[in-house]
Structure 1
Amino acid sequence: MPKKTIQRFLPDHNKIKNNKSLRIFGDVLHDANLWHLNRRSARGAFAVGLFFAFIPVPFQMLLAAAIAIPLRVNLPLSVALVWITNPFTMPPIFYGSYLVGVAVLGHKKQEFAFEPTWQWLEASISSIGPAFIIGSLICATIASLIGFFVVDLLWRRTVRKAWLNRHKK
């Protein structure tokens, strides 16, 4: 069942409630609906978490939490899914997003070599930035929609299967 599988990987909600960076949300974190796991909250959390995983900004976890709270979807799941983009997966994911942006905008692919300098960042924003941002938004939207519908489909399938097994008995 997806619920049991997902709950195995979720962090303890007390750890998240006590996280220093999430204290800006105050008492809103004590809403039980943010911690409850059902089909609606899981599919929404997947959509929120996967969307922000593909957005190249710092503090992705805070943004995912800020959207998960008013949407009343599972907070730990939406925050945890942001870590799909981690130091190991960021380069291929963001390069793929750049390639999508190049294809959509019809630009030529530009070769670049990463340098951790402010000058490189300024130059890159004007040259590869538009394609990268557009590609990231497109990939984020597609990943979000796929996550939403796949979780919904899997959840419905397992509930239907469990119901049929109970009915057979």
Structure 2
Amino acid sequence: MRKKLQAWLPDRQSIRGNRWLRPFAGSLLHPRLWHLNRHSAAGAVAVGLFCGLIPGPLQMLGAAIACTVLRVNLPLALLTTLYTNPFTIVPLYLLAYALGTFAVGGSVDAFTHPPEMAGLGLGAWIGALADWVVGLGRPLAVGLLLLAGGLSLGGYLAVKGLWRLWLIRAWRRRAQRR
């Protein structure tokens, strides 16, 4: 399992050769960021699931920063952030809003629909969308933190448990061969 995963993920040499990442090579080439074991994999999945809910294109940057601080597997964390995509982000944010509304004691019925944006220019469209998102405010922020924390904890425990089951199975197969 580990060898298959390592075959998909980029290696240290590809990072060293990338001209955009060369200024950060000192911190990005730390061996613990590239080593794959059950602890680094579980931490990387947790980081990726948490940072996957960061709005916009900052998900991978947030995951990379968290990986360098926590010293967990960087490629796996970056790969894990891809669970949010144009198809999943809206349901996840609606779930986060519902969780946040429940947590702060509000009503989900108070949800306001996005404003009509037909005929608006790009600048006005972005401004209207930003105003609508800011209007969602506290329930969305609290819900995103709760959902990200729950997904992160669940992913961490799932990877730890699955890796342990795989190890036990491998030990038993090895014992049967003897």
**TM-score, with normalisation over the residues of structure 2?**
0.83
- Where 2:114 maps in the other structure, the secondary structure is coil
Q: What pairs with 1:72-111 in structure 2 (closer than 5 Å)? A: 72-109=71-108, 110-111=111-112
* Superimposed CA distance per residue, residues 49-100 of structure 1 (whole angstroms, 9 cap, x where no aligned partner): 0011123254110111101012111000111111111122111111111111
Q: Distance in 2 between matches of 1:130 and 1:143?
A: 20
Q: Which residue does 2:126 correspond to in 1?
A: 117
Q: 1:43·1:149 contact (CA, 8 Å) conserved in 2?
A: yes
Q: 1:5 to 1:134 in 2, by over 3 A?
A: farther
List, as ranges, runs of 4+ consecutive aligned residues in structure 1 with deviation greater than 6 Å.
none
What 5-or-longer segments of structure 1 have no aligned partner?
none
Q: Which residue does 2:65 correspond to in 1?
A: 66
Q: Which residue does 2:120 correspond to in 1?
A: none
Q: Distance in 2 between matches of 1:164 and 1:19?
A: 46
Instruction: With a CA cutoff of 8 Å and minimum separation of 6, indicate the structure with the bigger relative contact order.
Output: 1
Q: RMSD value over aligned CA atoms?
A: 2.0
Q: Which residue does 2:136 correspond to in 1?
A: 128
Q: Distance in 2 between matches of 1:138 and 1:57?
A: 18
Deviation, 1:129, is 1.6
Question: Matched residues, percent identical?
Answer: 38
Q: 2:45·2:80 contact (CA, 8 Å) conserved in 1?
A: yes
* Superimposed CA distance per residue, residues 132-153 of structure 1 (whole angstroms, 9 cap, x where no aligned partner): 1110000000000000010000
Q: Distance in 2 between matches of 1:15 and 1:112?
A: 45
Equivalent residue in structure 1 for 2:156, among 148, 152, 158:
148
Deviation, 1:23, is 4.9
Q: 1:131 to 1:11 in 2, by over 3 A?
A: same
- Where 2:77 maps in the other structure, the secondary structure is helix
Equivalent residue in structure 1 for 2:171, among 150, 163, 169:
163
Q: In structure 2, what residue type is equivalent to 1:71?
A: L
Q: In structure 1, what residue type is equivalent to 2:146?
A: I
Equivalent residue in structure 2 for 1:12, among 10, 13, 16:
10
